[in-house]
Structure 1
């Protein structure tokens, strides 16, 4: 498209015209079609100046259209380099698998950075989830997870100290579930997970290389091994890199009419 940046579009559907639909909205849909149908992930799009000349609009209109597509995760701005089509979102599967194993299954190289560790009294909700009495400490672990060098998730978790003595002395850059199995013979085999969306706070945005307020998918998982709770972990995933797909089936007869997901496998 850049080679023809100064040639007006011949297709009327690809023109920006005066009318009831704002020009920035028209341009946004034109760019959306370009991204979704023609440009592979990581492709640069023309500059604001080129787009303004090509479609006969102001640079403010171009900036507004691009900004909306950045918010939707279709485009990504790279400081000093320009605007590019974003990587396609990965499916975030709803089953019990470590981040390390999941990334390797996708053919990506996972790495982990330990941000902080401590042993302290957890919040009441985490103490309850782990089956701890009031005032009993737990291990606190915050890690940044990357795939092929790209920061994808921040994990902040609490771990039952009585079942994982010495956890914080282990190599926590490795798969945590592998560590639990090797050091404590704990193999999480059941979990309850809650999913919601929220905007990135300043610290989470900094760790993930995003703007404050960017969309995140948040997962809180309480995992058990042999019926005993071990982990209460919340993970903040980049909304521009992930989407969640779940299979929904009706319950068996007599168990109610509400659909349910396939659960954790």
Structure 2
């Protein structure tokens, strides 16, 4: 028995273990793949054996294997990369109610954050930057455009802009922008974020190693100091299979002391 065949049996069971009674074969295969991910037999970022090898080892058609895999891709459990194969999706969970840098988030996952610099420069701001950062006509900005990685894997494109009065030298930033701003007493304490899905253009797709026109999550973040001064305007493009953005929501009375709740209820009427 070859190593590849042994790998297939480790994920799906021995040849002939799939039964043609009960659930369809592709659903049985999906159940075993979910169990393999849950139990750690398949780890985040790990590649699956080729479809042909799975079909041959398990005695099923490639159509059955493809159906099992395609549904799990749609579900988000698996990711397909053209020319590279099918991988277990490696997703980053990022809470939207906490202001943290990319480097902090990736290190919390036990991975090494990295950057491939695409641009570091001082320039005149565009209209969008002027509005966001409340700049005058002759104010300059420092721009940082880079591909962000985790253990060398592309995770997102990030274009950050700060007024030069806060950070005049773009080459002062090697890793975390927030760390450099923090050393100057200028780390944002709160931020406004806007998220939407967009189709990525050919150049950005090449950086992210995805197909052109793929849907990505586009995020604008405006970082503010304690007095409300805008210090950082960042635009980011994240592949949809790389991130889960999580936000905690509460009923408006959650956390309100009982006496205050009673007073509010006493002074209100039900519609």
Give 1:179 deviation, angstroms. 1.0
User: What 5-or-longer segments of structure 1 have no aligned partner?
Assistant: 17-26, 255-265
Which structure's CA Rg is the greater one?
A: 2
* Match runs of 1:227-246 below 5 Å: 227-246=228-247
SS in 1 for 2:145: strand
Q: Give the conservation status (yes or no) of the 8 Å contact 1:113–1:173.
A: no
- Partner in structure 2 of residue 177 of structure 1: 178
SS in 2 for 1:163: coil
In the aligned structure 2, how far is the partner of 1:46 from the partner of 1:129?
48
Decide which of 90, 93, 96 is 2:95's aligned counterpart: 93
Q: Give the conservation status (yes or no) of the 8 Å contact 2:30–2:69.
A: no
- Partner in structure 2 of residue 143 of structure 1: 146
- Partner in structure 1 of residue 186 of structure 2: 186
Does residue 1:9 correspond to 2:8, yes or no? no
SS in 2 for 1:12: coil
Give 1:38 deviation, angstroms. 2.4
SS in 2 for 1:97: coil
Does residue 1:70 correspond to 2:76, yes or no? no
Q: Which segment drifts farther, 134-143 or 217-226?
A: 134-143
Q: C-alpha root-mean-square deviation of aligned residues, in Å?
A: 2.9
- TM (norm. structure 2) is 0.74
- Partner in structure 2 of residue 213 of structure 1: 213
Q: Give the conservation status (yes or no) of the 8 Å contact 2:30–2:68.
A: no
Decide which of 155, 158, 165 is 1:155's aligned counterpart: 158
Give 1:71 deviation, angstroms. 5.0
Give 1:201 deviation, angstroms. 2.3
User: What 5-or-longer segments of structure 2 have no aligned partner?
Assistant: 1-6, 254-260, 265-271
Quickly say closer, same or farther: Cα 1:44–1:208, change in 2 above 3 A: closer
1:137-185 Cα deviation digits (max 9, x unpaired):
322220111122222121012211233222x131x22211111122x33
